[in-house]
Amino acid sequence: MKIIRSKYAGACYGVERALSLVDEAANLTETVVHTLGPLIHNPQVVSELKRRGVEEAATVAEIDEGVVVIRSHGVEPAIIRQAEAKGLQVVDATCPHVSKAHQAARELRELGYSVMVVGERGHPEVEGIHAYAGSDAMVVQDPGDLPEVLPSDKIGIVVQTTQAASVLDAIVEALRARGIEPEVRNTICFATKQRQQTAVELAERADVMVVVGGRNSGNTTRLAQLCREVCAQTHHIENASELNAEWFVDAELVGITAGASTPENQIIAVEKALKALGEPV
């Protein structure tokens, strides 16, 4: 059984930066450090941070003192103002690509566009982008989600950074079919594009595909969906203990990829477990 890792897989720059910032805060401060929500969508990482004394809070109201780390998904501007008003030390670990999406949403709104955010409704990153886009902005997950009556013909689009390009393309085409040429700010980050493209290329060759990352991770879930479209035997796992030997019976080529919130050590653990499965008894 041959095991190949996708050329681009695992933690992206934004996630590594967030981990570095929270690590620095935990090491340098004598006060308690909170992350506002899970720092990244990876349960194992969040558990390790808690073991080190980094607490998680759902809202600023739950934090009385110390440091609050804004997670990589970003937040509404009002939340940062609320934290500063309470005298909390704010460490902003918002991914720079997410910050660009915030800026694009604000610019479109200021230019008079009816802003459409392409992304998962309720996802923390999308909620943050929506705040910059304005209260009247629309969140659209797929072409079927488009409202029958649009607020105007002047539509500006901004995209959740981890969305699949195919979703954006389908929505743009649906708008064009209705006679609307949207102003598109394609804010899908390059790391996401790389991971999706190389994962699909590997999945097309593989007998079995293993996708490593949190089940609450949108970008990892999308990787699994894309791989499953070309490799029916695609399995999304969070850790090596979930591997099932029955998945790999008669498999000649097994591909591995991982979401942008999956650290290197978790990928290596899966690789080692797969190699052990492939060894003759």
- If you write DSSP's letter for every residue of 162-204 in order, what string do you get? T--HHHHHHHHHHHHHTT---EEE----HHHHHHHHHHHHHHT
Q: Which CATH class for the 13-95 domain?
A: alpha beta
CATH 3.40.1010.20 corresponds to the domain 2-11+191-278? yes
Residue from 247, 190, 192, 243 nearest 217 by CA: 192
Identical fold for domains 13-95 and 97-188, yes or no, is: no
| Signed CA dihedral, 189, 193, 196, 198: sign only | negative
pLDDT at 199 (0 to 100)? 97
CATH 3.40.50.2000 corresponds to the domain 97-188? no
Domain definitions of the chain by residue range: 2-11+191-278, 13-95, 97-188
pTM for this prediction: 0.84
Q: How many other β-carbons are positioned within 10 Å of the β-carbon of residue 139?
A: 20
pLDDT at 277 (0 to 100)? 85
pLDDT at 256 (0 to 100)? 98
pLDDT at 281 (0 to 100)? 38
Q: What is the CA radius of gyration of the chain?
A: 20
Q: Mean pLDDT of residues grouped by 10 in the chain (281 residues)? A: 95 93 85 90 92 92 94 92 95 95 97 97 94 94 94 96 93 96 96 94 98 93 96 97 95 96 96 83 38
pLDDT at 31 (0 to 100)? 80
Q: How far is C-alpha 75 from the chain's CA centre?
A: 14
Residue among 120, 125, 127, 238 flagged as catalytic: 125
Please say if 125 is a catalytic residue: yes
pLDDT at 198 (0 to 100)? 97
Helix, strand or coil, per DSSP, at residue 214: coil
